[in-house]
Amino acid sequence: MPRIVAASYPIDLSESAITFPTVLEPQERTAFLLLLAVCLIVAGAHLVLTGIGKAAFASPYSTQSREGDLVSLQGTVERVTITESGNHQILRVDGIPVFIPASARGDFQILEGDRVAVLGTVQTYLGEKEIVVQARGDIRVLP
């Protein structure tokens, strides 16, 4: 059976005697710091843009609005229709169709004659341009 022998020489525990190997090389540390800086910049930009909201990037709806454009529209609701399938809502606001999917609609009630502000994406459905609302907060009834 092997024997274990303890070392009999003194051990220096002073700070200068203890050295730890560096985990990262200088180039790796630089790359890590750059990556950390980029992450902080992206997180900061996300917070700022979330605070501003997407309405700041929308243009007013016009007949020249193109498919995929983020647009805003304010007007009076002329007609309210609920689809037979899916419980989606279609508004006609100053002659422009506005599609509100059930997921964005919730229990929100919009009636004919209400003044509304809408934010959505332009899409073409059956040859007619319409505004498609993405979220509940993208449509509100004005006083």
The answer to whether residue 23 sits within a structural domain is no
pLDDT in tens, 58-90: 899 998 999 999 999 999 999 999 888 878 999
pLDDT in tens, 103-116: 887 777 888 999 99
Instruction: Compute the distance between CA of residue 110 and CA of residue 99 in angstroms, rounded to an integer.
Output: 13
Residue range 94-109: mean pLDDT, rounded: 86
The answer to whether residue 22 sits within a structural domain is no
User: Could you tell me if 75 and 93 are in contact, meaning their C-beta atoms sit under 8 angstroms apart?
Assistant: yes
The answer to whether residue 3 sits within a structural domain is no
The parent domain of residue 118 ranges over 58-142
Domain tally, the chain: 1
**Domain of 133: which CATH number?**
2.40.50.140
Residue 4 has pLDDT above 90, yes or no: no
* pLDDT score for 130: 95
The answer to whether residue 39 sits within a structural domain is no
